[in-house]
Structure 1
Amino acid sequence: MFDKIVLASGNAGKLKEFSRLFAGQNIQILPQSAFDTPECPEPYFTFVENALAKARHAAKHSGLPALADDSGICADALGGAPGVLSARYAGEPKSDAANNAKLSADLADKDDKSCYYVCVLVFVRHEHDPQPIIAEGIWRGLWQQEAAGTNGFGYDPHFHLPEHGCTAAELEPEIKNAVSHRGLALQELLKKIQAVM
């Protein structure tokens, strides 16, 4: 049906991850930067709306099927915050250290430290695709005030996984890729794409 997909992201790590996943399908993943795609606004309060906007935007500028993800961390005690604002939780410029410090401060006096990562993936065949393929992955854990581990990025050093006895940043990358929110969403997306191809 198609042999190329544009990824609605400039993130090199995501490009590598998605390229590896789709290599077995003989589908090439191209970054949206290859098509001089401008940054897409993300004005929505939900992961799915932002991912859909990014996918349609990339498809419009490239003329190719497009894949987008929107992801972040949600703390139960904060009503799901930071949510879609995860990357800029502490404001501009974006800073993992500042975001982690803010979330630690916001959760310091809360008894409930439960939180979860969310990843929503949206695939569109073209800009006006009436039936986007949507997959979601959720990864549950507990907020840990002290950072631990050097793998991963973002909130990973504070995201404690009771079943593994460590933080996401202490997991081996192969294990993380299999059990993380993005890993779970990728597995679901691939099944859904294969079902309609």
Structure 2
Amino acid sequence: MTSNINSELIQFTSRPNWFKYRGKTMIFIGSLIAVLSLVSPDVYIMGESASWIPVISIVVLIVGIFRCIDALAADTAQGFLYNMQGGVFDIVVGFLVVFSTDGEANNLNLLIVGYMLTQGIYRNILLSVAKIPNPLSNRITGIISIILGIMIWIDWPASMWFIAFSLSVDISFRGWALVVLSSSINK
């Protein structure tokens, strides 16, 4: 089975169920926080009116930690570099967002825009280099990240709840792409 799969995907073939469960957890948590951002946008967390941003930034931080663990468990240099770059990026942005929520959307806009655009562009560039089965889910996830990043950039709804909603939707779609990838490799 591994002979016809690209070397970047060896880590997925050894533990496809782990990635599937992790992806489903990301879908659930991201969707839950996205719905909570819409239903109760003016919640006070950590003493600030920062909507659900502290919670979703902790989720981004945890996703980054898991990606770094995946990098350390990777069998190839490509798998290590891909996961370590994305993991460190998630950890740094998650850490910065957790400790910079002061109730002002303008202070986080540029950081979140850069994060969303970089994630989306990185995923789409990676698809042109790596040969993965069923790349449509990753391409859709990257495009959604780019669209949400642009919407935050142009201050379409200039508010904290939309930043939390965008990060939550991004986490949900990243989980979906992980489930689709691990399911297609499992077959």
Shorter-chain TM-score: what band?
0.3 to 0.5
Higher helix share: 2
What's the TM-score once normalised by structure 1's chain length?
0.31
